[in-house]
Structure 1
Amino acid sequence: MPPQRFPSFILRSSLFILAASFLPSAQAVHQKNAGPEKVELKFKLPPPAPLSPEEAMKTFKVEKGFHIELVASEPMIESPVAMSFDEQGRLYVVEMRGYMHDFEGGGEKETTGRVSLLEDTDGDGRMDKATPFLDNLVMPRAVLAVNGGALIAVPPNLYFCKDTDGDGKADVKDVVATDFGTLGGQPEHMANTPIWAMDNAIWSAGYTTRFKLRGGVWQKDTGLGRGQWGLCQDDFGRLFFNYNSDMLRADLLPTEAFTRNPLLRNATSINAKVAADQTLYPSHPTPGVNRGYEAKSLRADGTLPKPTGTCGALIYRGDAFPAAYRGNAFVPEPCANLVKRFTMSEADGIVKATNTAKTTEFLTSTDERFRPVQAANGPDGALYLVDMYRGIIQHQSFLTHYLIANIKDRKLETPFNQGRIWRIVPDAKERPQPVKVSKDVSMLTHANGWVRDTAQRLIVESGDASAVPALKEMLTHKSALSRLHALWTLDGLAALTPDLLRATLTDKDAQVRAAAVRISARDLAPDLIALTAEKDALVLAHLAIKLTSFNLPDADTAVAKLLASNGKNVLVREGALTGMRGREAAFAKLMAGQLTKDNSSQIIPVMEALGSLLAQAGKAGPFEDMLELAAAQPQGGAMQMAVIKGLASNGGDPKSKTPAKLLWLDAEPASLKTLKSLMSDKAAAKLFASVEARLAWPGKPGAPSPPKIVPLNEAQTALFEKGKTVYATLCAACHQPHGFGLDGLAPPLVDSEWVLGKPEILTRIVLHGLAGPVKVGGRSFNLAMPPLPQLTDEDIAGVLTYIRREWEHNGSPVEIKSVTTLRAQNKARMAMWTEEELKNLGKKPSSK
């Protein structure tokens, strides 16, 4: 059975261990990448004894001016991995009590997991009451306090749970989603950390669907997958996340806009790397990481120099810390037993995180069982930490010989039933007090961002129209953050009128103006078109996104003018490109009409980007249109070369190692001859040769025979139409209607060698699934395609025929009888296929 999934902080984690001798090799569970069997354990460190919370407190070193306090610990909670405060200050805690009881992953199938509801009944800051809110769970992963209850992830399901009789235990358990993670596959891709963001949508890490609660009904639409473990937002609603070896990333523009153009795979406006220097400074040797045997993994003193298990990042938005800490990022690294702090800055919409440490960190511990896995803002303005507190956090599927030897030598297998919640507060005389939040509009002015977020959520959840007058009045509040919350709260209540939005479009704060643009609908197109004289880059980027979404001639003309003076700005340019799918060549003509001697440097990057999108799209007609446009430009000019450079890109994907798709034309285009005569220097000629190589026509020297398009017969056409319906209802959520997939969730189907290869391979994948890693178009996808045995043979034949003939594909149809035969042949198979198995089907086994 495939291993259970777990987030990146577990997959890359470790245990500290060291002795100056060779130990007998241990049996590594991860057979394909288990590392050397004979391992040398350096650094003579004695086996550490598990520490009580009071003892652990003495191992912490926190930045000057702060101290750490205990909020909750075992036996009240065990193996905590996630937490969420509700409006009353109660704390939901996810306890993964079945995780890694031994090297074989014992305990993971048991119903020992739970979500506990903790309360501080005497107000001393320490939780003193715990109630099993939802019990008997298998490996629960995430929780979000919402709508008087909580969203709880128990893969593959996301439940909404609520206590209606006041006993602290859930008596309502409704299924919100059935694809929130899987029971098998690679753990690092498990969905987690749902948050209620400023746009009144619930976003999650590692998951592409966002939810909105409207009138008590959970609505779904698509976004983009992001990060591995942990998700948070800043004061303006931008989403921040991370990956195991990358401490902080961000979506600088609204994520949902980029779902409109799947070809913008390498956009820098989303999934932006914001932290350049991620050097770590642990306070003790940490050589027990999974790949600690590699020479560059550790410093000479045994400390981890770079992140390997990052998770649960937070943008601090509380009011307990000094002002200089507001908006800072705090990022746990459990492998190094520390929490790093970054200061944040912004210029022209680009966010930058600066490593504040030189030789120290915001928080470190010499207790190697200290495993911070989530940071959170609290109702008292303090910073909270979830500490899984255990030795083993590496999942059994990825254990190396080295790590197993370390664990055994250091006696770190047990205990596995501890865990703590910590709070970090300033060294002040009085402990900050938690705020109980209501749907009082005035709470949107509170200095604590958690309070503002919670108040906004409560008002939107309630749907209470009586709040509208006060919210309208708050649109003129002196605080820009309060105006921003009021705007989004009105939007959540569906109470924004065109007049209110028109006024907000001219707000003195750029973040408020950007939000107003984002919220505006098509009826405000004239007002938005009139804003193209806006100077702020962030607002212009939002404006470009919105105007291109309208697909109106006047709006496109306005965007062309906007880019003619701001095309060099990556946010503005990419914002515009989100709405260009299928219109690249037509828009390039608009841009060419804007060219003057003074704005060439602004327009050139746009033209190159449009050419690159067309190179990825692989459609012969628009590609030829772009060549004609290039041929009409001045010889050797920057505009001409920008178009050629864009079209010469290898499908727009620098990671791809496969040749770009050959595009067939009816005849050699005249523009090609013209351009060839104009390419005088070596660099230009080389680029042009790449463009020419992508094109073929009957009679072109060296070209292969034109593809034979065999039309479908009546029965096959009916099968295609049935498959089209199956695809739309079952497959499009992941692979998308356009077939380009979603990074982090599903690989592309368009021009995929898997789709256009042997149909019996596709049939096997649909029947039994495919466990990653798998290469598609030269790129590796470490994902799992779940089996779909519930589909009928006709359904499978139909959907495979559809994807082999849609998107200008010319694959053969799939016959129903062939699906029936393969189903019978593999009826005893239980496991997913792997890439290696499928590629070796029918081959004789090696004699080695």
Structure 2
Amino acid sequence: MHILFITLAILSIHACNKPGKPLQEQTFVRTVVDTNPPVTPLSPEMSIQKIQLPPGYRIELVASEPMVQEPVALAWDGNGRMYVAEMNTYMKDADATGEFEPASRIKLLEDTNGDGKMDKSTVFVDSLVLPRVILPVGDQLLVGVTNIQHIWSYRDTNGDGKADEKKIVFKNDVLDVRNLEHQNGGLLWNLDNWIYPTRDNLRYKYKNGLLVVDTMVDNMIGQWGITSDNYGRLFYSEAGPGLPAVQIQQMPAYGALNFNDQYTQDFTKPWPIIGNLDAQGGKNSLRTEDNTLKEFTSGCGQSIFRGDRLPEDMRGDYFIPEPVGRIIKRGKVINRNGKIYIEDAYQQKDWLASADMNFRPINTYTGPDGCFYIVDMYHGIIQESEWTNPGSYLRQIIEQKELYKNKGMGRIYRVVHEDFTPDPTKPNMLNEPSSKLLTYLDHPNGWWHDNAQQLMIVRNDQSVVPALREIATGGKASLTKSPSPLARIHALWTLEGLDALDKKTLFQAFTDKDPQVRKTAVWISEHFINNNDTEVIQKLASLIEDPSADVRIQLSLSLRNNTSDPSQKIVKVLLAANPHNELMQFSFTTFTETQKKLAAEKERTQNLSPADRALVTNGATTFKQLCATCHGADGKGVLIGGKEMPAPPLVGSPRVKGDKTMLIQLLLYGLKDPVDGKTYPDIMPPMGSNTDEWVASVLSYIRNSGDLGNASSVVTTDEVKQVRAETPQMKEPFTLQLLEIFKLGRAEKSNWNNASAK
């Protein structure tokens, strides 16, 4: 039944929003349309009518079924052709029947007449298992699929729009046994020429057609989607604990770092316009007055808008979809003394909200035309089968609403504005000389200068080095005007990627009038620092009193790993001179603590048997990749953005140190509230689908990790096998009370057996 919850009241309508108009003047009102909406699929045109946006904005259709089906990610190559990854077997029913069949695809779409709508489609790659990451690199497309950790390169060598060449560019024979929602969900060629995934402790450099891997200290635990701003700062998100922005303070190579106040609590609250009954947390996740989602549960596909064909006040803002809420939230990114904060752009409403139950925004992008793009999977069931087991709340809603019927569709939209015309220029970078690519380094749309930098590096074209040096130091070279700070930054990083950065150019960048250029120069000098170049380190000392906190923070980050006396002296002086810079101080504290923990863990595990050491080591990897998302890397829980802890802490937990059987049962079948008298936003999902060895390794690490302050015996594979065999199949997760009852039953059985033996 349709219920009009709030009568539409427009207090002030501005028919025309001019570029740069402040947000507070863009008045619009959130209108809840239906608290118990129908689930019948709508045509793209009807679905667009169900979307609410601020005045002046509108949605345009770029592609829809049957041209695309179950889209999850897109990317443009240097010629503006769009690659779309389709998960064609994702959750066709609540049991995920046939989910891992090789029936998914990557499509290549083209707009041949320049009207903004795709009119040509070919299947670029067929017969894949749930492709999850795509990244164009030159004329190649890098692809990662589900359950496998290889990364492949596909190329079309004859121009028919279909890949006919396939090569492995990164090889890892270890299968990824994590739930598909917890595997890598993105690849990004960043400003610093490293290619970053969303998860784990790896990053890659593209060298001679292959990906060369670098291992970082901490695991990144982002999930679906990764983005960066104009200056190469990365932004991740975590759907599991409902954290819309994580690891936004410093680059991953310097370690994981988050603050509880890095975004406001308001930013964690979605404001949908329909009831969201299919939330994993059930009724507890919904507002009692209108059934709308009250907290993030599936944030993903975030992007920093860097285009030039929408209002100026959008540029640099953070956008993140919430597919369960059917909204896209907009945040203002604010730098205060080098620390990043995100504040909700609107009060109790979101930038975009849909009243279509099947609208599933899961990825967002800045397009070559300067507009904002949305990938809408348009799918009934959005949660993977681990959370839709028989008897679960979600299972009941799926069956009641018949959500399993809504599949095989998908839409791609772009958001435009009445005051702007999308850029009609069709990119032709793959066919243009590097001298032409140079001119794009100062393009007003970030998509253009990112791709120009990447292509020059992929070509390894040394002919542009003199011009790049001129641009980096403020000369025009082939530009029509003096280069902007962004153009100078891109020129510096392009020189780095071409192995052509010279000290003269670097030293001049140290004195650039723009603080972001100076910060870049410090960051990029790490190649010289790592080689103990005393001349460079001496020059860096001149930046100790730089007026920009960003520069001073970067100086401390770049030098702290170098053990030479001059480097350590600079770091010591910086710390003493900046006692109130929270980011600098806390980052250095976590860095030193991590170094001590790594040394202590190495020494402690040397006393374990080889078999036990292998269990703990493998378990540590899994914990950091998966469990830390909700329990925290230190096992003390997760506190970010003023949200309550998504899961209980493990440090000091009696269940971790106590009865092994109870702990094994808990991991095999999951745990639901209350825990020690406290309720948490989500249940602990069952992990019994993993192998006995996997379960044993995770629990061995948790029980025996110095990081978590525990020193109990390991859990063996045989112990897991025995508990699995002796525990009845559970239809739903355990409660602590039921675990205690099982424990009592085991004790009584043991007593009975002992008495019988006598």
Contact 2:35 2:291 in 1 (8 A): no
1:446 is aligned to 2:443: yes
Partners of 2:660 and 2:297 lie apart in 1 by 40
Name 2:505's counterpart in structure 1: 500
Q: Bigger shift: 113-122 or 805-814?
A: 805-814
Match of 2:280 among 280, 290, 295: 290
Structure 2 CA distance, aligned partners of 1:110 and 1:456? Answer: 38
Q: CA deviation at 1:115?
A: 1.5
Cα 1:380–1:809 change in 2 (3 A) is closer
Q: Within 5 Å, which residues of 2 pair with 1:258-277?
A: 258=255, 267-268=258-259, 272-273=262-263, 276-277=266-267
Find the partner of 2:375 among 374, 386, 397. 386
User: Is residue 541–residue 576 contact of structure 1 (8 Å, CA) maintained in 2?
Assistant: no
CA contact (8 A) 1:206 1:229 kept: no
Partner Cα distance (2:331, 2:191) in 1: 22
Q: What letter is aligned with 1:573?
A: Q
Q: Would the aligned equivalents of 2:147 and 2:178 in 1 still touch at CA under 8 Å?
A: no
Q: Which has the larger radius of gyration?
A: 1
- 2:176 aligned with 1:182, yes or no? yes
How far has the Cα of 1:124 moved from its partner? Answer: 2.2
Q: Which residue of 1 aligns with 2:47?
A: 56
Q: CA deviation at 1:75?
A: 0.7
User: Partners in 1 of 2:626 and 2:547 — Cα distance?
Assistant: 35
Deviation per CA, 1:475-518: give whole Å up to 9, x if none.
Answer: 13341111111111111122112232222122222222122212
- Is the 1:747–1:781 Cα contact (8 Å) retained in structure 2? no
- Aligned partners of 2:198 and 2:223 also within 8 Å: yes
Output aligned runs, 1:169-208, within 5 Å. Answer: 169-170=162-163, 171-174=165-168, 176-178=170-172, 182-185=176-179, 187-208=180-201
Q: Secondary structure at the match of 1:207?
A: strand
CA gap 1:398/1:179 in 2 versus in 1, 3 angstroms: farther
Q: What residue in structure 2 maps to residue 211 of structure 1?
A: 204
Over 6 Å off, 4+ runs: 16-19, 616-620, 721-728, 730-736, 739-761, 769-775, 778-791, 803-814, 818-829, 831-843
The reply to whether residue 225 of structure 1 matches residue 220 of structure 2 is yes
Shift of 1:752: 10
Q: How many residues are aligned here?
A: 661
Match of 1:473 among 470, 473, 486: 470
Which letter does structure 2 place at the counterpart of 1:160?
W
Which residue is 1:310 aligned to?
Answer: 299
Residue 406 of structure 1 deviates from its aligned partner by 3.6
The CA deviation at 1:301 is 2.8
Are the counterparts in 2 of residues 18 and 406 from structure 1 also a CA contact under 8 Å? no
Work out whether residues 249 and 274 of structure 1, in 8 Å CA contact, stay in contact via their aligned partners in 2. Answer: no
CA shift at 1:824, angstroms? 11
Q: What are the equivalent positions in structure 2 for 1:100-499 lying under 5 Å apart?
A: 100-158=91-149, 159-166=151-158, 167-170=160-163, 171-174=165-168, 176-178=170-172, 182-185=176-179, 187-220=180-213, 221-222=215-216, 224-244=219-239, 245-258=242-255, 267-268=258-259, 272-273=262-263, 276-294=266-284, 297-358=286-347, 360-399=349-388, 401-428=392-419, 430-433=421-424, 434-438=426-430, 439=434, 440-477=437-474, 478-499=483-504
- What is the distance in 1 between the residues matched to 2:361 and 2:54? 16
Deviations 1:10-59 (CA, angstroms, capped at 9, x unpaired): xxxxxx9999xxxxxxxxxxxxxxxxxxxxxx978573431111222222
Which of 510, 518, 538 is 2:515 aligned to? Answer: 510
Match of 2:539 in 1: 527
TM-score normalised over the length of structure 2: 0.74
Task: Please tell me whether the aligned partners of residues 141 and 155 of structure 2 are also in contact (alpha carbons under 8 angstroms).
Answer: no
C-alpha distance in 1 between matches for 2:669 and 2:327: 34
CA contact (8 A) 1:299 1:305 kept: no
Provide the rounded CA distance (Å) in 1 between the counterparts of 2:458 and 2:262. 31
Say yes or no: does 1:558 pair with 2:570.
yes
CA 1:785 to 1:480, structure 2 compared with 1: closer, same or farther past 3 Å? farther
- Cα shift readout 1:263-287 (whole Å, capped 9, x = no counterpart): xxx6539x94467444433233334
SS at match of 1:298: coil
- Compute the displacement of 1:348 (Å): 1.1
Distance across 1 between alignment mates of 2:669 and 2:248: 29
Judged with a 3 Å threshold, the aligned counterparts in structure 2 of structure 1 residues 412 and 753 are, in CA distance, closer, same or farther, namely closer
Work out the CA distance in 2 between the residues paired with 1:331 and 1:573.
Answer: 30
Partner AA of 2:499 in structure 1: A
Superposed CA deviations along residues 413-464 of structure 1, whole A, max 9, x for unmatched, are: 3121100000111225744224333542221111110111111111122222
| Cα distance in structure 2, aligned partners of 1:56 and 1:152 | 31
Q: Deviations over 1:680-701 (max 9, x none)?
A: xxxxxxxxxxxxxxxxxxxxxx
Q: Do the aligned partners of residues 617 and 97 (structure 1) sit closer, same or farther apart at CA in structure 2, a change above 3 Å counting? A: closer
1:282–1:337: 8 Å Cα contact kept in structure 2?
Answer: yes
Q: Decide whether the 8 Å contact of 2:94 with 2:398 is kept in 1.
A: no
Determine helix, strand or coil for the equivalent of 1:208.
Answer: strand
TM-score normalized with structure 1 length: 0.67
The 5-angstrom pairing of residues 685-834 of structure 1 reads none
* AA partner of residue 538 (structure 1): D
Q: Secondary structure at the match of 1:495?
A: coil
Q: CA separation in 2, counterparts of 1:813 and 1:283?
A: 51
Letter in 1 for 2:176: T
**Following TM superposition, by how much is the alpha carbon of 1:73 offset from its aligned partner in structure 2, in angstroms?**
0.6
Per the alignment, do residues 309 and 741 of structure 1 end up closer, same or farther by CA in structure 2, a change over 3 Å counting?
closer
- SS at 2:500's partner residue? coil
CA contact (8 A) 1:274 1:351 kept: no
Identity of counterpart residues, as a percentage?
A: 31
Q: Within 1, Cα distance between the matches of 2:92 and 2:328?
A: 26
1:543 equivalent in structure 2: 555
Amino acid at match of 1:559: V
Paired with 1:190 and 1:318, the residues of 2 have a C-alpha distance of 29
- The answer as to whether partners of 1:84 and 1:145 remain within 8 angstroms in 2 is yes
Cα distance in structure 2, aligned partners of 1:740 and 1:130: 37
* Structure-to-structure mapping, 1:11-26, within 5 angstroms: none
Question: Greater CA deviation, 465-474 or 155-164?
Answer: 155-164
2:8 is aligned to none
Q: Following TM superposition, by how much is the alpha carbon of 1:213 offset from its aligned partner in structure 2, in angstroms?
A: 0.8
- The one-letter amino acid paired with 2:546 is E
8 Å CA contact 2:556–2:571 kept in 1: the answer is: yes
SS of the residue 1:530 aligns to: helix
Distance 1:164 1:758 in 2: 58
Deviation at 1:96, TM superposition (A): 1.1
3-state secondary structure, aligned to 1:127: coil
Unaligned runs of 5+ in 2: 5-32, 475-482, 636-649, 750-758
CA 1:465 to 1:771, structure 2 compared with 1: closer, same or farther past 3 Å? Answer: farther
**DSSP-derived class of the 2:561 partner:** helix
Structure 1 unaligned regions, length at least 5: 1-15, 20-41, 260-265, 584-613, 621-708
Q: CA deviation at 1:147?
A: 3.8
Cα 1:246–1:560 shift into 2, 3 Å: same
Q: Secondary structure in 2 aligned to 1:580?
A: helix
Contact 2:537 2:566 in 1 (8 A): no
> Structure 1 residues 110 and 839 mapped into 2: Cα distance closer, same or farther (>3 Å)?
farther
**Worse-superposed segment, 161-170 or 384-393:** 161-170
* Local SS of the residue matching 2:255: helix
- Following superposition, the deviation at residue 368 of structure 1 comes to 1.3
Task: Tell me, in whole angstroms, the C-alpha distance in 2 between the residues paired with 1:243 and 1:548.
Answer: 29
Aligned residue identity for 1:234: D
